[in-house]
Amino acid sequence: MPSIDDILKETGEEALDLAKTNFKELLFQAKDESKTVIKETGEKIEKWLIMRAKGELDDDELESLLNTRKKVVRQFLLTQEIASRARLEKISMGLIDIVVNKFIGKVF
Amino acid sequence: MLRATNRFIVIFLSILSLSGCALFTTHYDAIRHENFTKLQAFHVKFINDYTEGGPKQWSKSEIDKVCDSGDLKYREALVYAKSKDNKDGTGERAVSILKEQFEDDCKFLIKRGKSFGKAWAGEHLEQIKKNYGYAIAGELSRVGKPE
């Protein structure tokens, strides 16, 4: 089975080799990440490139999977935003409700 | 003195409450939640139906019909989500990402001129399910979700 290094061998073409080096650095960073979504993105991209190299996917299929992954990451980020806003609302409103309903007229 | 303190607290809390509203998110909605599950089932069936060895043969007219019917479902879900959104627009944005994905899959199937490949479909379905899973998780993290 080809490895990512086999697939991204230097070609002697400067611009392409630079892109490959940058890509490998990003890929290794992603795979080392503790956050599941980033790590999983790195692992999936590596897997799909290997599948492409083995002929299990064609270029259009590979591009389609990468675009699909982009949307998954967008949805994940949105989920984080929703959870963070909900937490902010719960804590802020909870504090306000306690003071208004339980403290005023009783504590003071 | 005590009355002045009370008045100050009420005014302070009112300002805090009003200024905070713009930051807060759209609340949980059971119909939007249900829409995510229905759209997921429809989308997954579409991929399965048009994968090599699946029950449907590639036919542009048939695919156009399915994609048109899907377009209507996603539009309805989008309009509904928008009608329930707070200023954050998070409900509409979540449906919108799913709608874009379905449209991309329709275009891809038409462009291929043949059914989806099995290897692609396996990987793609995993990602599709994650996308809907995140949309549902987002809905369940909202204020007002059922306990």
Domain ranges across chain B: 2-140
Identify any residues that bridge with B51 across adjacent strands, giving them in sequence order.
B116
Bigger pLDDT: B45 or A102? B45
CB contact under 8 A, A65 and B123: yes
Residue B84: half-sphere exposure toward Cβ, Cα within 13 Å = 22
pLDDT above 90 for A16? no
B97 contacts A74? CB cut-off 8 A: yes
List chain A domain ranges. Answer: 4-83
Name the minimum distance, in Å, from the CA of A37 to any CA of chain B.
11
> pLDDT tens, position by position, for chain B (147 residues)?
556 666 655 555 555 554 444 457 899 999 999 999 999 999 999 999 999 999 999 999 999 999 999 999 999 999 999 999 998 999 999 999 999 999 999 999 999 999 999 999 999 999 999 999 999 999 999 999 888
Residues 25-54 of B with CB under 8 A from A: 25-26
Rounded Cα–Cα distance for residues A65 and A41 (Å): 11
- CA distances to A30, A92, B65 from A19, in Å: 16, 47, 42
Tokens of B95: 């449906």
Tell me if B131 and A71 make a contact (CB, 8 A cut-off).
yes
3-state secondary structure of A35: coil
Q: Which of A47, A79, A85 sits opposite B24 (nearest CB)?
A: A85
ipTM summary value: 0.86
Q: State the Cα–Cα distance between residues B91 and B86, nearest whole angstrom.
A: 9
Give the Cα separation of B91 and B30 in Å (integer). Answer: 12
Best to test chain B binding among A46, A88, A89 (most B CBs inside 10 Å): A89
Closest chain B residue by Cα to residue A73: B131
Please tell me the distance from the alpha carbon of residue B28 to that of residue B136, in angstroms, as a whole number: 10
pTM comes to 0.85
Residue B20: per-residue pLDDT: 47
Alpha-carbon span B42 to B33, nearest angstrom: 15
